[in-house]
Amino acid sequence: DVLGQLPTRCTPAGIGRDTVKALHALGARVVAVSRTDTDLDSLSKECPGIETVCVDLGDWDATQRALDNVGAVDLLVNNAAVALPQPFLEVTKEVFDRSFNVNLRSVVQISQIVARGMIHRGVPGSIVHVSSMVAHVTIPNLAVYSSTKSAMTALTRVMAAELGQYKIRVNSVNPTVVLTSMGQKVLMDPEIARKLKERHPLKKFAGQRGFRERRARPGRPGRAL
């Protein structure tokens, strides 16, 4: 049983959506979470039988109500995120709060809900955080987004250390720019796009399929892959 979140605005081609489709194809019972009903409706048509939950993960109380009774979960994929580029000197409180609420606070909240369920049932499990390479490299205008992903790396290590005794494995994956709608927003600046491509050994950006296949490989708990 898998609980996965789509991006806050799920699109026909995104990491969260593609992950749901891949897990559904493998026969997993998937619960997909998004804040947009229309996105969940279209995904349900592509993946008959999945369960859907519509909630804004930036709202703590609404998320608690929506997921309190989600049922048994064996794998949690924390994928929801917002990327709202701003130069550092122009960062607003609204962007800061929204970014940390969705990108980090919701990860803590949902991971608590799922981990407590695993511990109560006495079963092993896995939690995967979808982070980003910006946790490790510098990209202008992404001070807030980068900070949320760096914090996620630290959170992953601490969660792995604390939850390992319950046989709950915690890892994060740190993809380069993936060609989703959110990734393409970052690439609108041609200079940033050029610098990012130069950093990549293959001199190209990743697609969802390659990212999904890399994420499927097991890793040592606490690692950022």
Query: Residue 34's closest CA among 68, 79, 74, 2?
Result: 79
Query: Residue 149's closest CA among 158, 159, 160, 136?
Result: 136
pLDDT at 200: 58
pLDDT at 194: 65
pLDDT at 27: 93
Average of per-residue pLDDT values in the chain? 83
Structure tokens given for 43? 């995904």
The pLDDT confidence band at residue 1, using thresholds 50, 70 and 90, is low
Helix axes 106-121, 143-163, angle to 10 degrees: 20
Q: Which residues are catalytic?
A: 145
Choice between 101 and 215, residue whose per-residue pLDDT is larger? 101
pLDDT at 137: 85
Q: Is the pLDDT reported for residue 16 higher than 90?
A: no
pLDDT at 218: 52
The pLDDT confidence band at residue 10, using thresholds 50, 70 and 90, is very low
pLDDT at 224: 58
Q: Is the pLDDT reported for residue 70 higher than 80?
A: yes
Q: Is the pLDDT reported for residue 23 higher than 80?
A: yes
Specify the DSSP class assigned to residue 207.
P
pLDDT tens digits for range 162-195: 999 999 999 999 886 654 455 555 555 666 666 6
pLDDT tens digits for range 33-43: 999 999 899 99
Catalogue all structural domains in the chain, each as residue range(s) with its CATH number. Answer: 2-215 (3.40.50.720)
Structure tokens given for 168? 């709950």
User: Average pLDDT for residues 44-59, to the nearest whole number?
Assistant: 95
Cβ 43 vs Cβ 14: under 8 Å: no
pLDDT at 11: 43
User: Average pLDDT for residues 56-66, to the nearest whole number?
Assistant: 96
Sign (positive/negative) of CA torsion 198, 199, 201, 203?
A: negative
pLDDT at 102: 97
What are the helix (H) ranges across 47-205? 60-67, 93-100, 106-121, 143-163, 181-186, 190-199
Choice between 216 and 28, residue whose per-residue pLDDT is larger? 28
